[in-house]
């Protein structure tokens, strides 16, 4: 029995499962997640005995067992992960590459020292150092990418760890090992360095891309905010002009009322008073809530609803000071409001109605929309959210709402019932 290879593989499996545990957002509790990883570790070790001890000279056994182990490893990563998508597969494939660093170091140390103890101890230390470096350099970058809903292009990115893994396997292990071809050591080290640099560059690029999308969404919000302020300024300006005219004409109305009183024409007096009240009401600037930014965006969206001839049932209770970032919160309202408008603007006039409920105070936050819809709404089987009809996963607006919900640890979801589409975001503080 080749104890050196058995122990070397066992050490690699330990750090492989540790990588999975650290770099995934767990679907289950820590105990259950740890138990799943431990069971996978045992199965990997048992399967190693097949290719290393029972059938050490069988290439077919080596290939079959290795493929089964790869499938088991990737299944473990997907099973324990909170989100089961391309990103989860990417980190699973990357985990297999990461542990190769320690495995290769074990073989290299054994070639030069001829000591199994030194090689295994060195391999363990290099595994530990590699995990620490990867954790410090890429954990925050990875978690940020993992938490965003945007998944376009990740299938292509999965090819990076696949080709690195294949390169390592065919140069260092199969069909000839490094012990048999030590001249490949320098090439392997260069590939390892290239792999680490590639991962950091790719993740930083994705982070930069995510920031650009975030900036774009904020610019859209600020543009709406500025237009809303311009609109309110125009309304205030027009109201001031009309009220000046009304004040100027009040002496004429007073004179008319006096003459009508003398004549006992109370019905005509009532008409004049009603006219004055109508003028005052027409020039009253609508205030939906005490928060300036939310009020501005709501005014803007109500204006859009009027253009689309959509009837809006609005239930708005928002305090002046918010317990969340008011710009992000306003963006959520704007996105969900706009989605509801888009959903009904092409319906028959009598069906163009939406209900918007927005409550936010120090204790809780609730944003709820409901509207009729036509056609089919394609819901993502994993997230439960509607997919964009423009292709890809969810639209940028829905990604923004989901990111905000995750940030405040809220519950965000939607469903269809009796021809009505509901979306609700709730968080308790």
Pick from 134, 127, 123: nearest CA to 196:
134
Give all domains of the chain, ordered by start, each with its CATH number. 3-217 (no CATH), 218-282 (no CATH), 292-428 (3.30.565.10)
Query: pLDDT value at position 210?
Result: 67
Prior bond to 405 cis, omega within 30? no
| Strand-pair partners of 369 | 356, 423
| Strand-pair partners of 47 | none
Query: pLDDT value at position 233?
Result: 62
- At CB < 8 A and 24+ separation, what contacts does 127-135 make? 127/11, 127/12, 127/15, 127/99, 127/101, 127/102, 128/15, 130/98, 130/101, 130/102, 131/15, 131/18, 131/19, 131/22, 131/98, 133/196, 134/19, 134/98, 134/196, 135/22
| Strand-pair partners of 181 | none
Query: pLDDT value at position 75?
Result: 92
The two tokens of residue 160 are 């990076």
The span from the CA of 138 to the CA of 146, in Å, is 12
Answer whether 87's CB lies under 8 Å from 151's CB.
yes
Low-confidence residues in the chain, pLDDT < 50:
1, 392-394
Q: What is the pLDDT of residues 216-250, one digit of tens each?
A: 666 666 666 666 666 666 666 666 676 676 666 67
Query: pLDDT value at position 1?
Result: 46
The span from the CA of 126 to the CA of 102, in Å, is 6
The three-state secondary structure class of 382 is: coil
The span from the CA of 27 to the CA of 29, in Å, is 7
The span from the CA of 308 to the CA of 321, in Å, is 32
The three-state secondary structure class of 357 is: strand
């Amino acid at each position: 029995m080749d104890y050196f290879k058995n122990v070397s593989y066992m050490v690699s499996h330990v750090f492989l499962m540790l990588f999975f545990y650290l770099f995934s957002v767990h679907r289950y509790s820590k105990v259950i997640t740890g138990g799943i990883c431990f069971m996978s570790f045992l199965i990997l070790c048992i399967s190693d005995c097949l290719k290393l001890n029972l059938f050490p000279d069988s290439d077919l056994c080596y290939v079959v067992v290795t493929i089964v182990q790869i499938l088991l490893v990737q299944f473990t990563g997907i099973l324990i992960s909170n989100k089961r998508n391309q990103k989860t597969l990417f980190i699973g494939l990357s985990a297999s590459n990461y542990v190769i660093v320690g495995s290769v170091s074990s073989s290299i140390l054994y070639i030069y020292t001829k000591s199994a103890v030194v090689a295994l101890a060195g391999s363990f230390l290099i595994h530990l150092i590699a995990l620490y470096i990867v954790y410090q350099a890429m954990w925050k970058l990875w978690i940020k990418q993992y938490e965003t809903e945007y998944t376009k292009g990740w299938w292509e990115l999965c090819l990076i760890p696949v080709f690195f893994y294949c390169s390592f396997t065919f140069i260092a292990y199969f069909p000839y090992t490094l012990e048999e071809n030590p001249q490949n050591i320098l090439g392997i080290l260069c590939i390892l360095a290239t792999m680490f640099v590639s991962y950091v560059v790719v993740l930083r690029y994705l982070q930069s891309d995510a920031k650009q999308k975030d900036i774009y969404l904020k610019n859209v919000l600020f543009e709406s905010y500025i237009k809303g302020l311009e609109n309110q300024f125009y309304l205030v300006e027009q109201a001031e002009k009309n009220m000046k005219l009304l004040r100027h004409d009040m002496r004429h109305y007073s004179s008319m009322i006096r003459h009508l009183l003398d004549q006992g024409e109370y019905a005509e007096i009532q008409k004049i008073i009603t006219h004055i009240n109508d003028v005052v009401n027409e020039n009253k600037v609508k205030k939906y809530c005490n928060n300036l930014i939310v009020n501005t965006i709501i005014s803007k969206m109500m204006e859009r609803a009027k253009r689309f001839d959509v009837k809006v049932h609005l239930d708005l209770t928002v305090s002046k000071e918010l317990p969340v970032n008011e710009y992000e919160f306003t963006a959520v309202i704007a996105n969900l409001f706009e989605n509801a408008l888009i959903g009904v603007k092409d319906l028959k006039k009598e069906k163009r109605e939406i209900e918007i409920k927005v409550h936010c105070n120090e204790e809780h936050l609730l944003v709820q929309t409901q509207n009729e819809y036509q056609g089919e709404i394609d819901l993502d089987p994993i997230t439960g959210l509607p997919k964009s009809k423009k292709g890809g996963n969810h639209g940028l607006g829905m990604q923004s709402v989901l990111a905000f919900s995750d940030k405040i640890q809220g519950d965000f979801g939607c469903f269809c019932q009796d021809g009505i589409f509901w979306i609700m975001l709730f968080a308790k503080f």
